[in-house]
Amino acid sequence: MEFDFVVVGAGSAGCALAAKLSENGRHSVALLEAGPRDWNPWIHIPVGYFKTMGNPATDWCYKTQADPNTANREHKWPRGRVLGGSSSINGLLYVRGQKEDYDAWRQMGCTGWGWDDVLPIFKRSETWHGPEHEDRGNDGPLLVSSKSLSREIVDHWVSAGVAAGYPLNEDYNSGDQEGVGYFQFTAHKGKRCSSAVAYLKPARSRKNLEVITNAQTTKLIIENGRATGVEFDHKGKLKTVKARHEVILSAGAIGSPQILMLSGIGPGQHLSDHGIATVVDAPEVGQNLQDHLQARPVFKTDLPTMNVETNNILKQGMIALQYALTRKGPMTMAASLGTAFLKTDDRLETPDIQFHIQPFSADNPADGPHKFSGFTASVCQLRPESMGHMELASANWRDHPHFHPNYLATPGDQQTIVRGIQIARRIAEFEPLKPHILEEHAPGEGVAKDDEDKILDWARETAVTIYHPSGTARMGVDDGAVVDPQLKVKGIDGLRIADASIMPRLVSGNTNAPCIMIGEKAADMILKDVNA
C-alpha cells in the first residue's frame, strides 16, 4: 500500500485533515484509525456520551497513575477510539477559546497561529445555526447550534450570574468570551456532528481517500532520517503502508507521543530504559501535559432536574419516544447547558475560570444520578500552570502509557480553584436562583465558605478531569519544542503532528473546535508545501 499522505488517527483533527488533503482529488490519502466505524447508534444521539464513555467499544478507557496532589486518586481519562475520535464521544460543547490564547502562541514564535490567522479557519469550518455575527461561518461542514434545550434551573443560574454582577454574553465565540450565557453545541436537528460526520461522510465516495478502521499504528517506518510510512496492526496482522510525501500523526495527545516514543523519537534515557533505540533524542515528547480540572459543587433544588425527570423506566421510555418521534427532548442534551467565563480577580485581562452548568448531579456518573433533584455548577481553571507528563509503560504498543497529571501543583492553580468554588457559592446566593436552592450538597456545610484550606482539600479529594489533555508534543521555536510552527517534527523529515498534542499552552476552553482548526490548518500548510 502506498499513498501520498498517511494520516494516523481519525479524530477531531485527523478527519478534518484527511478530508481537506483529499478534497482536490490530486493526492491519495490513507487515514488509519485504531477503533471501528461509527456505527454505534449512541454516538449520534447527543446524550449518548453516557453510553460511549467508559465503553471499551468506543473509548480507550485510560486511567492516570495515582496523582499525589489529588488525594492519590487514579483519574479516568476517556478518549474516543472510533471514527471521529473524541468528537464522537464528547460533550458536544463548541468553544473556540480566547483570542489571547492564539496571540500568545504567536508571541511564543508560532508565526501563523495568532487569532487573526486562525479565525478564518474557525469560520470556514462551521455552519452556525444561531444569531448572525461577522465572526461566525455559514457554509462549513461542522454544524453548530445555539441553545436547543432549556431547563428552568439553568435559566435561573444564568440570571443569578447577571444579578451577581457578571455580564450576559450571548456569543462567547465571537471574540469576547467574558460573561454568563448558554453553551453552543456541535449538533443539529437532534443529531451529533462529530468530525467524522462533518468531514468524512461527505468525502466517503472519493477514490483518493482510503479510510482503514481497526488499524492501530504500532510504529513509524523511518529510513535515512525520513518517515516513509507506518506499521499497523489490522485485525491481528501487522501490515505496512508507505507515504510518498508525508506521514501525519493525528492520534491525539496520548496516541501521538506514544507512537513517537515507540518509534525511537523521545527522551533518550526513557527510550533506552524500555530497550528502544533512540532515533531522535527529543526530551520533551510526552512532557508539557496540561488538562482542565473541574471541581463540581452540587446543589439540591426544588425545581425538577434530570435526576427526577429520568428516575424511572416509564419516564425514560417517554423520553426515548419523544426523541424517536421528534428528535427533541432530554436525549438532545449536551453535557452542560449553561456556562460562564469569569475572572477570579478583576485585575486579570481575560477570564481564568469556566463554569459548566448541568441540570443533573451525580457522585459518579457511572453510578447514575442522585436520588434528589440536583444541579451541578462545575468550575475549572482555564489556564493551569501545573504540568504533568506521560511516558511509555513498556515497548509494547498494546500497553496503555502512564500518565502523571500533576493537577493543582502550583499555588496559583490552588488559589484559582478555591476562588472558582467560592464564586459558585456566591452565585447561588442571588435571585432568582437562591429561593430554589434547598441545600448545598457539595462541598456542603462541613466546608466553611471562608475556609480556603478546607475548600482546597475538598477539590483535591473530588475534582476530576474535564477531558482536555493537551500539549504533549508541543509546538515552538525553541530547542525543546517537538514540532515547529509548520507542525514538522524536529529531527525527522516527512513527519508532522496535527492534534491536541501540539498546543504549546492549553486554550481557554473546551478543545474539540481548536483541534478541528488544527487539522484544517495543517492541511493548508501541507498542500501549500506540496504544491510549491
Ligand X SMILES: Cc1cc2nc3c(=O)[nH]c(=O)nc-3n(C[C@H](O)[C@H](O)[C@H](O)COP(=O)(O)OP(=O)(O)OC[C@H]3O[C@@H](n4cnc5c(N)ncnc54)[C@H](O)[C@@H]3O)c2cc1C
Virtual CA dihedral for 398, 256, 183, 127, nearest 10 degrees?
-120
Check binding of 213 to ligand X (CB under 6 A). Answer: no
Between 2 and 31, how does the x/- string for binding to ligand X read (CB under 6 A)?
------xxxxxxx-----------------
80 binds ligand X (CB under 6 A): yes
User: Are the beta carbons of 138 and 128 closer than 8 angstroms?
Assistant: yes
Ranges within 31-50 binding ligand X (CB under 6 A): 32-35, 49
Report the C-alpha gap between 363 and 491 in whole angstroms.
47
Binding test (CB under 6 A) with ligand X, winner from 161, 179, 252, 338: 252
d(CA 86, CA 239): 25
The residue whose Cβ lies closest to ligand X is 11
CA distance 352 to 344: 7
Find the shortest distance in angstroms from Cβ 198 to ligand X: 12
User: Using the rule CB under 6 A, which residue among 121, 243, 248, 500 binds ligand X?
Assistant: 500
Helical spans, DSSP H, in 223-348: 252-262, 268-273, 306-309, 313-326
Minimal distance, residue 92 CB to ligand X, in Å: 5
Q: How far is the CB of 446 from ligand X (least distance, A)?
A: 30
Contacts of 210 (CB under 8 A, 6+ apart): 3, 28, 29, 30, 31
Residue 22 or 512: the one with the smaller Cβ distance to ligand X is 512
Q: Which run of H or E residues covers position 390? A: strand 389-391
- Identify which of residues 32 and 492 has a Cβ nearer to ligand X in the complex: 32
Q: How many residues bind ligand X (CB under 6 A)?
A: 44
Give the x/- contact pattern for ligand X in 256-285, rule: CB under 6 A. Answer: ---x--------------------------
Q: Which residues contact 107 (CB under 8 A, 6 or more apart)?
A: none
User: Which sequence positions are flagged as catalytic?
Assistant: 468
Q: Which residues contact 317 (CB under 8 A, 6 or more apart)?
A: none
Among residues 183 and 458, whose Cβ is nearest to ligand X?
Answer: 183
246 part of the interface to ligand X, by CB under 6 A: no
Among 42, 360, 375, 467, binds ligand X (CB under 6 A): 467
Binding range to ligand X, per CB under 6 A, among 115-123, 206-214, 253-261, 449-457: 253-261
- CA distance to 36, 136, 151, per residue, from 142 (Å): 21, 12, 26
CA distance 343 to 350: 7
| Cα–Cα distance for residue pair 446/452, rounded to 1 Å | 13
Per CB under 6 A, the list member of 247, 513, 522, 526 interacting with ligand X is 513
Could you write out the three-class secondary structure of 315-371? HHHHHHHHHHHHCCCHHHCCCCCEEEEECCCCCCCCCCEEEEEECCCCCCHHHCCCC
Nearest to ligand X of 49, 375 (CB atom): 49
Binding part of the chain for ligand X, among 74-82, 145-153, 343-351, 370-378 by CB under 6 A, reads 74-82
Span of 88-96, 104-112, 409-417, 481-489 interacting with ligand X by CB under 6 A: 88-96
* Residues of this chain that bind ligand X (CB under 6 A): 8-14, 32-35, 49, 53, 78-81, 85-87, 89-93, 95, 216-217, 250-253, 255, 259, 335, 467-468, 499-500, 510-513, 515
